[in-house]
A and B are shown apart, each in its own frame.
Chain A
């Protein structure tokens, strides 16, 4: 490769990096100020996670609700994972998510651990079995909606946690986070 071509390519790469950096900053992706004020209870040992790719030995219980414990799980040199599990077996989360890029994020204020169930082979129609999850500061409630968009259930967020085992029958097609004014902040899918 001759010197002129090398210099041209290096210049193009530098220009692309500058433009990319500017775009990211303008779009706010690099200024992620989402927060989770709930720091949880003192650290505790975490057992029973046979996960080679996410070695977790300690964590904090963020809350115990409805007989369930919700955790922040610590990884060495990596972003936290989060989990839920039975409150009568503290330290043994049974469901774990290790989000890339960490949690929460400005565009990702909810980590949902709700359980869904289907009973028909001919339809991909799922109803709620249990609702629980973790929400960023500023989220006042999490809403679950029907396939037609109607709200089926609204669960308040208290100290960054939402939870209920009292769920309506019928299909659910998504969920949304709303602030205290009822403004929709995020939805999935």
Chain B
């Protein structure tokens, strides 16, 4: 009986941690892999919707986005400073260029298109750059 109670409490805590760590989309938006789960972004990951790179990238449809955010976990492991070995670029892209900030951190980060000197209709993107796959949740709000 005690073990069952412990299991239920542990499961609830784990679910709460996952829910709180994710960047919550505000209104109309785009999420990857969904708005309530983490996915693995590696060298061969693709959303198959015409992103800048045919693989190793996930991107939204074209829109007038307010910002894009990612919540990256420690998968497959973090050092003492919460850095992973998986390097990703997060930001936006259009027909001419792809722009963003790099991160290896297990952290929550956000950026607006204007910060990257981009405007008009753009795609929100998260791109694998190097290292092992990153476990993350991405969301863009419009």
Q: What residues make up the interface of A, taking CB atoms closer than 8 Å to B? A: 27, 29, 49-54, 84-86, 94-101, 105, 107-108, 112-119, 121, 124, 126, 129-130, 188-189
Contact = CB atoms under 8 A, between A and B. Distances in A.
A27 B80 CA distance: 10
In the A-B complex, the 7 residue pairs with the closest CB atoms: A52-B24, A94-B115, A108-B81, A94-B112, A100-B82, A95-B111, A95-B115
A85 B115 contact: yes
B104 interface: yes
Contacts, number: 115
Contacts of B66: 50
B23 A189 contact: no
Nearest to A99: B107
Interface of B: 20-24, 26, 52-54, 56, 66-67, 69, 71, 79-83, 85, 87, 89, 91, 96-112, 114-117, 127, 129-131, 141
Contacts of B106: 100
A96 B105 contact: no
Contacts of B24: 52-53
B53 A54 contact: no
A112 B103 CA distance: 9
B54 to A, nearest CB: 8
A66 to B, nearest CB: 13
Contacts of A50: 26, 66-67, 141
A122 to B, nearest CB: 9
28 contacts: A51-B23, A51-B110, A53-B21, A54-B108, A84-B115, A85-B115, A94-B111, A95-B101, A95-B110, A95-B111, A95-B112, A98-B108, A112-B101, A114-B102, A115-B91, A115-B99, A116-B100, A116-B101, A117-B97, A121-B54, A124-B53, A124-B127, A124-B129, A126-B89, A126-B102, A189-B104, A189-B130, A189-B131
Contacts of A121: 52-54
Nearest to A122: B53
Nearest to B53: A121
A96 B131 contact: no
A53 B108 contact: yes
B14 to A, nearest CB: 17
B109 A96 contact: yes
Contact of A101 (B81, B89, B103, B110): B81
Given A100-B106, A189-B130, 7 more contacts: A100-B105, A105-B80, A107-B81, A118-B98, A126-B89, A126-B102, A129-B117
